[in-house]
Amino acid sequence: MELTMSGSSDMTLGDCPSSSHHVRLLEGIALLLSGWHGLQLAIENQWGGADSVQKYHQLIVDIFSWFSSRSKASLCVEELENVLHESMLLSFNTEIEDGSIEEVAEQLMILYEEYAQTTRTVDCL
């Protein structure tokens, strides 16, 4: 759970004194996923079954956990794409081939980078 910042020592998400930043990251992930048309169709049409909304919430937590379990240097957009693809396929029985998985993964990486910089600047200096 290391988060390596350029020019600073290694830190983890848990090293920051305020969990409000964690909440903001979770909210950011949820907001980003709420704009993903393919995922929203899967939820609305219950392609993942009656518990599609719960699966959506679990995906948010899984993405947060994915970020928090890797060092910043080891974050790889292709791995995040695989997480999204696997979740859509296994949880929602949906194969997404419109390029949106790659777009969402890239947006999530940008979101996390902004989160990491804000956390380091505000709480972890």
| Domain ranges (residues) in the chain | 3-122
pLDDT for the residue numbered 118:
82
Residues 1-51: tens digit of each pLDDT: 232 223 333 334 444 435 777 899 999 999 999 999 999 999 999 999 999
pLDDT for the residue numbered 1:
27
Record the pTM.
0.79
Q: Report the C-alpha gap between 88 and 94 in whole angstroms.
A: 5
DSSP 98: S
pLDDT for the residue numbered 10:
37
pLDDT for the residue numbered 123:
52
Q: Which helix (H) or strand (E) holds 11?
A: strand 10-11
Q: Report the C-alpha gap between 113 and 86 in whole angstroms.
A: 23
Mean pLDDT of 78-96: 97
pLDDT for the residue numbered 19:
76
> Residues of the chain with pLDDT > 90: what percent?
68
Contact 29, 61 (CB under 8 A): no
pLDDT for the residue numbered 117:
86
pLDDT at 80 over 60: yes
CA-atom Rg of the chain in angstroms: 15
pLDDT at 92 over 90: yes
